[in-house]
């Protein structure tokens, strides 16, 4: 079984982003970039399926700038087999990403596409679902458990009321939630080994996909801030303040 | 213009998040609702009473007994042609199936909007709410999910929409429902509660959440948690408040033993009044709290319960 894991290079989750002074976006110069945390979980799950003998090959795919090669290398160092980078410098929208991924799926014929439920920059939560729709595949989003059987996969999903399990025919798209696993750190020998693993360089044109955005960002602003309030001295003080405010 | 709003329901009652989506849809003019379910007549009746709605489409079929994304997308697409906008609340159900609708229509989805500027321009949070983007869509049809904390709830009574049955869409049939483990609680739901008390890593164990639950019961509050508390197994996943969990904006949010990571703040910083109880006076949570109490939570929380 082949597993394809699309990954995105994003601002590291520990960075508190700042809006640019001209309100055209957020400051990305000299900011630490990392693999989207949900995608790391996807790679980890793929590796575990390979270690269990279920998967035979893991392909890491990214659509982004040349520097996204580092993100793919991170996945290769964790244990994926090879990479594909579709070089595209501008911000791309989930629909265009899904179309590129669909074209790669047609070439690579994976049984499962496993990816993060959302990227922590755009917070869209769309790509996996869109890919599943245009492939005509089922989807198991927000996965906290993945159990592969013969010709199908059971996915337990984190939903608003708790957990739900669905059975999907293969091939299928699965998107990861936080509790699926805890991603491993790559060991130094594996980081060295990953440098020799192949990464295919492609462009959206190779797949005939129009990357034009449908949404125009008119402005990006700071959210209305919250001022720190006061420190109360005691529980009694707190309760009387809350009563004054009329919230209890 | 006419907008179609997908109704989130349990076949009997309409979920509150739907009411915020109806308010967001108001900018489009006429509002129709889609109720897809199984034996969902009561939900359809309730939907018809929502103020501002002119028509309710009802697809009552066993195929919609469980909210499978593939089937919900198919039924929504079967009627989408007649609408200028297709709108759903950004619940786990809406987030699950709506991108399929957008992709099938070959349009961008505008996720988690918090404001409608005009019928093609919307505001939405990005980077865990650390920036607010104003985006304009060039697509003819808009596919939108609505963050319920961004909009007032439409009145659930006072409307008298016509109810029209529609046939089920051809079954996609590539997925099936196996089962669910839903949290049972007599407390209010997190996303509609007026008061929330949440615990973090500082709670130390699941058993210790009992002291928070006692306060919750006195206040009629919902109980939430930070990611750290859920990851540690103290409480189930559906308690998680944050960027990728539940987004809440109650009248009062009490954060107990929560340090205040960016990702947690993203889920609760629009609350009207925030209280933080933490023994670390440098915890970032104090920077957004209206009232901070620097104290050991195992002393302060029982004292709070006693004082209420």
CB contact under 8 A, A165 and B178: yes
Q: What is the pairing mode between strands B30-37 and B55-60?
A: parallel
Q: Which of residues 89-108 of B touch A (CB under 8 A)?
A: 91-93, 95-104, 106-108
A88 has a chain B CB within 8 A of its CB: no
Contacts of A220 in chain B (CB under 8 A): 126, 131-134
Distance CA A100, CA A39 (A): 17
Contacts of B177 in chain A (CB under 8 A): 164-167
Q: What is the pLDDT along chain B (308 residues), one digit of tens a residue?
A: 999 999 999 999 999 999 999 999 999 999 999 999 999 999 999 999 999 999 999 999 999 999 999 999 999 999 999 999 999 999 999 999 999 999 999 999 999 999 999 999 999 999 999 999 999 999 999 999 999 999 999 999 999 999 999 999 999 999 999 999 998 889 999 999 999 999 999 999 999 999 999 999 999 999 999 999 999 999 999 999 999 899 999 999 999 999 999 999 999 999 999 999 999 999 999 999 999 999 999 999 999 999 99
CB contact under 8 A, B109 and A154: no
Nearest by CB to residue A163, choosing from B174, B237, B274, is B237
Q: Which of residues 172-211 of B touch A (CB under 8 A)?
A: 172, 174-183, 191, 195
Chain A: give the shortest CA distance to residue B192, in Å: 12
A22 has a chain B CB within 8 A of its CB: no
Nearest by CB to residue B174, choosing from A137, A164, A214, is A137
Q: Which of B77, B86, B103, B114 to mutate to test the interface with A (most CBs of A within 10 A)?
A: B103
In terms of CA atoms, which chain B residue is nearest residue A235?
Answer: B304
Q: What angle (nearest 5°) sits at the alpha carbon of residue B144, between those of residues B143 and B145?
A: 140
In terms of CA atoms, which chain B residue is nearest residue A226?
Answer: B288
**What does the pLDDT read at residue A71?**
98
Q: What is the pLDDT along chain A (248 residues), one digit of tens a residue?
A: 999 999 999 999 999 999 999 999 999 999 999 999 999 999 999 999 999 999 999 999 999 999 999 999 999 999 999 999 999 999 999 999 999 999 999 999 999 999 999 999 999 999 999 999 999 999 999 999 999 999 999 999 999 999 999 999 999 999 999 999 999 999 999 999 999 999 999 999 999 999 999 999 999 999 988 888 999 999 999 999 999 999 99
**What does the pLDDT read at residue A227?**
86
A206 has a chain B CB within 8 A of its CB: no
CB contact under 8 A, A222 and B230: no
**What does the pLDDT read at residue A224?**
86
Sort B308 into a burial class: Cβ within 10 Å, 0-12 / 13-18 / 19+. Answer: middle
**Does pTM surpass 0.80?**
yes
A133 has a chain B CB within 8 A of its CB: yes
Nearest by CB to residue B102, choosing from A95, A117, A158, is A95
Nearest by CB to residue B135, choosing from A154, A216, A241, is A216
Residue pLDDT, tens place only, B20-74: 999 999 999 999 999 999 999 999 999 999 999 999 999 999 999 999 999 999 9
A93 has a chain B CB within 8 A of its CB: yes
Contacts of A94 in chain B (CB under 8 A): 99, 108-109
**What does the pLDDT read at residue A191?**
97
**What does the pLDDT read at residue B267?**
97
Contacts of A158 in chain B (CB under 8 A): 92, 237-238
Nearest by CB to residue B237, choosing from A140, A166, A179, is A179
A:B CB pairs within 8 Å: 256
CB contact under 8 A, B133 and A220: yes
């Amino acid at each position: 079984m082949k597993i394809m894991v699309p990954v995105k290079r994003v601002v590291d989750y520990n960075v508190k982003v700042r809006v640019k002074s001209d309100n055209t976006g957020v400051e990305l110069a000299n900011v630490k970039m990392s693999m989207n945390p949900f995608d790391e979980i996807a790679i980890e799950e793929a590796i575990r399926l390979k270690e269990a003998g279920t998967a035979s090959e893991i392909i890491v795919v990214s659509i982004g700038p040349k520097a996204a090669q580092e993100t793919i290398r991170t996945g290769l160092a964790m244990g994926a087999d090879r990479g594909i980078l579709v070089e595209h410098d501008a911000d791309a929208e989930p629909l265009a990403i899904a179309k590129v991924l669909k074209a790669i799926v047609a070439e690579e014929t994976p049984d499962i596409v496993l990816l993060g439920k959302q990227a922590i920059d755009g917070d869209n939560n769309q790509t996996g679902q869109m890919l599943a729709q245009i492939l005509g595949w089922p989807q198991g989003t927000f996965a906290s458990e993945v159990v592969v059987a013969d010709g199908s996969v059971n996915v337990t999903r984190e939903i608003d009321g708790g957990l739900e399990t669905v059975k999907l025919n293969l091939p299928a798209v699965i998107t990861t939630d936080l509790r699926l696993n805890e991603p491993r750190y790559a060991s130094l020998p594996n980081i060295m080994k990953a440098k020799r693993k192949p990464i295919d360089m492609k462009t959206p044109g190779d797949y005939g996909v129009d990357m034009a955005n449908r949404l125009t960002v008119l402005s990006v602003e700071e959210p209305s801030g919250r001022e720190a309030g006061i420190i109360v001295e005691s529980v009694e003080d707190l309760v009387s303040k809350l009563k004054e405010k009329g919230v209890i | 213009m006419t907008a179609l709003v997908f109704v989130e329901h349990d076949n009997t009652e309409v979920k509150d998040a739907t009411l915020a989506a109806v308010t967001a849809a108001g900018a489009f003019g006429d509002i129709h609702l889609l109720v897809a379910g199984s034996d969902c007549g009561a939900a359809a009746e309730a939907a018809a009473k929502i103020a501002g709605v002119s028509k309710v489409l009802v697809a009552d079929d066993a195929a919609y007994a469980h909210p499978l994304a593939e089937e919900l997308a198919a039924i929504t697409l079967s009627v989408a042609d007649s609408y200028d906008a297709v709108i759903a609340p950004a619940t786990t159900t809406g987030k699950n199936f709506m991108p399929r609708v957008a992709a099938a229509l070959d349009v961008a989805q505008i996720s988690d909007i918090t404001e409608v500027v005009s019928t093609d321009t919307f505001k939405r949070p990005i980077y865990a709410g650390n920036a607010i983007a104003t985006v304009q869509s060039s697509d003819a049809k808009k596919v939108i999910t609505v963050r319920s904390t961004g909009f007032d709830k439409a009145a659930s009574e006072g409307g008298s929409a016509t109810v029209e049955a529609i046939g089920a869409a051809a079954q996609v049939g590539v997925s099936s429902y196996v089962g669910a483990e839903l949290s049972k609680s007599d407390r209010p739901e997190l996303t509609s509660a007026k008061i929330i008390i949440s615990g973090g890593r500082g709670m130390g164990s699941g058993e210790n959440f009992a002291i928070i639950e006692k306060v919750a019961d006195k206040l009629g509050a919902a109980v939430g948690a930070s990611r750290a508390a859920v990851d540690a197994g103290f409480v189930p996943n559906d308690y998680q408040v944050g960027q990728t969990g539940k987004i809440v904006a109650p009248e009062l949010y009490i954060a107990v033993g929560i340090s205040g990571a960016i990702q947690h703040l993203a889920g609760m910083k629009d609350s009207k009044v925030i209280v933080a109880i933490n023994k670390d006076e440098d915890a970032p949570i104090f920077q957004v709290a209206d009232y901070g109490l620097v104290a050991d939570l195992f002393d302060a929380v029982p004292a709070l319960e006693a004082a209420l």
